[in-house]
């Protein structure tokens, strides 16, 4: 974690050193910004700077990131897995697939582990519902179907 880590009023932000990996094998060092809020306790926002228009911002499941620390996790558009290379510290690879080519970034295992431990200090595992997350998610889901759909069913 960088010295820029902030932990204020139910929010946790940190910068970690990472590597943006391109399908052609090119790898560029970058900073990975992690943002967590007790107001939305199920997710971590991850921001990778845009190099060659390939960076981005993603909302990832905190549980998926945690599971990816100890083994391959995720199916579909997001996968997380630990990566061990001889002579190098353990790292974590996160791959996000969307409309274009996949975006892969690698960051230190210890940095992600420490960050997630601190997020769990804010909102312990299994208590996310106590922080209103389920109600907010349900409200968002129901709002998407809002009055326009109701009018169509009348």
Distance (Å, rounded) from C-alpha 122 to C-alpha 118? Answer: 7
Phi, psi dihedrals of residue 25, rounded to the nearest 5°: 95, -15
User: What pLDDT sits at residue 4?
Assistant: 44
User: What pLDDT sits at residue 147?
Assistant: 47
Inter-residue contact 150 to 56 (CB < 8 Å): no
User: What pLDDT sits at residue 131?
Assistant: 58
User: What pLDDT sits at residue 97?
Assistant: 85
pLDDT tens-place string over residues 68-98: 999 999 988 999 999 998 998 999 999 988 7
């Amino acid at each position: 974690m960088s010295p820029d880590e902030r932990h204020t009023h139910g929010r946790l932000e940190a910068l970690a050193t990472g590597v943006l990996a391109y399908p052609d094998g090119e790898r560029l060092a970058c900073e990975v910004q992690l943002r967590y809020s007790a107001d939305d306790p199920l997710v971590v926002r991850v921001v990778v700077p845009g190099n060659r228009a390939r960076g981005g911002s993603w909302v990832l499941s905190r549980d998926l990131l945690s599971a990816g620390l100890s083994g391959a996790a995720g199916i579909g558009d997001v996968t997380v897995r630990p990566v061990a290379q001889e002579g190098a510290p353990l790292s974590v690879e996160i791959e996000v697939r969307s409309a274009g080519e996949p975006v892969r970034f690698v960051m230190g295992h210890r940095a992600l582990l420490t960050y997630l431990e601190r997020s769990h200090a804010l909102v312990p595992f299994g208590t996310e519902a106590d922080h209103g997350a389920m109600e907010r998610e349900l409200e968002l889901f129901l709002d998407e179907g809002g009055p326009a759909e109701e009018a169509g069913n009348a």
